[in-house]
Amino acid sequence: MRTTLDLPKNLIDEAMRITNSKTKSEAIRRALEEVIRKEQRMQLLTLKGKVDLQIDLETLRARDSSF
């Protein structure tokens, strides 16, 4: 998808240098992917301690050995 952006040259240059990207598009794509991964991790962390899975370790072990 083509998009026109007005971004500071020094910001793009730094992103390309840090990510070892050969093109501006690659640098921006990698940066966006990283931001998305980071935000998804943060959202998962907000669930820490809130999900009760009711896991029985002995049942899991017995089931694992039957395969």
Instruction: In whole angstroms, give the CA distance from residue 29 to residue 12.
Output: 12
Tens of pLDDT along 1-46? 899 999 999 999 999 999 999 999 999 999 999 999 999 999 999 9
Instruction: In whole angstroms, give the CA distance from residue 13 to residue 61.
Output: 52
Q: Against a cut of 0.75, is the pTM above it? A: no
- Of residues 22 and 49, the one with the higher pLDDT is 22
pLDDT band at 62; cut points 50, 70, 90: confident
User: What per-residue string of b and e applies to 13-22 under the rule 16 or more CB within 10 Å gives b?
Assistant: eebbeeeebe
Question: Residue 28 in contact with residue 15, Cβ under 8 Å?
Answer: yes
pLDDT at res. 64: 64
